[in-house]
Amino acid sequence: MTNDLENRAIAILKANDRGGYTVPTAGLYPYQWNWDSAFAALGFATFDRDRAWREIETLFDGQWEDGMVPHIIFRKNDPGYFPGPDIWGSRTEPPTSGHSQPPVVASVARWLVETGGREDERRAHEMFPKLMAWHEWWHCYRDPDETGLVGIVHPWESGRDNCPDWDIGMNNIVVPDDLGTYHRRDTDWVDPSERPTQETYDRYLTIVKFGRECGWDHDIVVREGPFFMADPCVQFVLMRADRDLMALAERFDDARARGRIADWVARDEAGAQAMWSDEACGFVATDLRTGSKSPAITNASMLAFYGGAGTEEQRAEMVRHAREILDGCRYVFPSWDPRHEGFEQRRYWRGPVWSVMNWMMAAGFERHGLADLAMRVRRDTLAMVRQSGFFEYFDPLTGEGLGGPNFTWTAAIHLALVSEHGAAEVA
C-alpha cells in the first residue's frame, strides 16, 4: 500500500505540473500559489531535484520590484477561477494578486541545500538576493514601525483564509454599496458547506477593492486599509525563515546579509510576544487596528515551536493545549480548537486538518524534544491520506477528505514525510 500511495502522490505532482510550476489542484485552483509551490518543492525533491528548484524559481518570476512575492501568479486567464487578474488589477507582468503569503521558501531552500549537493548550493546562491528582498519587504512593508510583529492585510495573505482568527477584524469591515455582483467559482467545485460564507466573501472582495483602487500601495493598505492583523502562522514562519536565511548567508559568507538578518531576528521574538494572550494561555491572532485578540488556540498557534518563540513557561502552556486537543480528536491537528465555540469540522480553515501545517508543527515539536507529539502528528497526517486520499484538508473527527481532490501539497507532504522518516516509522 505504501508504495502505491507514493506512486499516486508522484502522479498527482506530475498531473498538476503546468510546465515548471504546479497548480494546487485542477479546476478549483488553476494558477500558481505562493506557499503551495514551496511545499510542492519538498515533494518533487524526493524524486526530481531539478524540478523542485524550478518550482521555486518560477514562483519568483512574479516578484515585484519592491521585493514582494505575491500569493497568486496568473499565468493565463482561466474563467473557472474568481477573483481573477482583472479583479486584482496589479498591473504587473505576469499578472499577480496584490499581497503575499507565508514566506516558507527560505526554509525549503535551506533544506534542499543541506540534503543535496553542489548544484543545490549553486541554485540557492543564485536565488539568495531574491529571498533577501522578499524578507526585507516583509519587515519593511508589513512592520513599518519596526516592532518585530508583522501584519497581514487580507486573510488570504495568511494562507489560512477562513480561520475564525480573522472574525474580529472581518466583522469591522463595511461592505460598500458599489461592490457589485459576482459569481463565485469555488462553490462550483466544492460543496458550499465546506467553503467560506457569502458574507465572508463580500468582505474579502471589499479588501481587494480597496487595494486595487489605491494601486496596491503597501503603505496605504497597511495604514488605511480595512483589515490589518497579526497572524501567528506568518510571524512564526517568518521567524523560522529568517534563521534559515541566516544559515544560508553564513554558508555564502555574506557579511552584509548576516548583519541585516541579525536585526530582523533580534526583533522577531519581541514581536511574537505581542500575540500572547493570558486569557487563551497561548499565542493568538491579534487585530492591529483595535488590539483585540482571537479567543482560541489554532494549528498556527502551535507553530510557536517551529518558529522558536516563547518562554519556557509559555511553551509549557502550549504543550498542555496540544495534549488536550490531541486527546479530543481522532486526527490532528485541527485548525481551530474543538473545545471552543466556532469549531466547524468540515468548513475551510474553521476546524479541518491540513498536511502542510502538520509538517511544520511536527518539525517544531521535534526540535523542542516533544518526540511523542511530533510522531502523533506525522502518523495522523499519513493515516488520513491512507483512509481518504490526497485531499486539500480533512475532518479531524472522522478523517474524511474535504475540499479539492488530488491536491499538490498534500501529495508533496506525504512524499516528504515518508522520505524523511520512513514509512514504517510513522505508520
What CA–CA distance (Å, rounded) separates 172 from 166?
Answer: 10
What CA–CA distance (Å, rounded) separates 320 from 83?
Answer: 41
Which DSSP state fits 282?
E
Residue 273 amino acid letter: Q
Provide, for the chain, the percentages of residues in helix, strand and coil under a 3-state DSSP scheme, each rounded to the nearest 5: 55, 5, 40
Phi, psi of 212 (to 5 degrees): -60, -45
List 114, 136, 161, 202, catalytic entry: 161
Cell of 420: 524523511
| 177-183: Cβ within 8 A, 24+ apart | 179/205, 179/206, 179/209, 182/82, 182/83, 183/82
Among 80, 82, 127, 122, smallest CA distance to 106 is for 127
Among 153, 127, 123, 126, smallest CA distance to 138 is for 153
What CA–CA distance (Å, rounded) separates 337 from 334?
Answer: 7
Contacts of 59 (CB under 8 A, 6+ apart): 21, 32, 34, 37, 38, 69, 73, 105
CA 232 to chain centroid: 11
Does 161 qualify as catalytic in the annotation? yes
Coil vs helix vs strand at 256: helix
Question: Hey, which residues does 72 pair with through a beta bridge?
Answer: 33
- ∠ CA 238-242-248, nearest 5°, is 140
10 Å CB burial of residue 224 (0-12, 13-18, 19+) is exposed
Q: Are the C-beta atoms of residues 152 and 228 closer than 8 Å to each other?
A: yes
What CA–CA distance (Å, rounded) separates 378 from 309?
Answer: 22
What CA–CA distance (Å, rounded) separates 160 from 143?
Answer: 20
Q: Are the C-beta atoms of residues 110 and 38 closer than 8 Å to each other?
A: no
List 143, 317, 392, 395, catalytic entry: 392
Question: Hey, which residues does 353 pair with through a beta bridge?
Answer: 334, 394
Cell of 61: 518570476
Catalytic residues: 161, 392
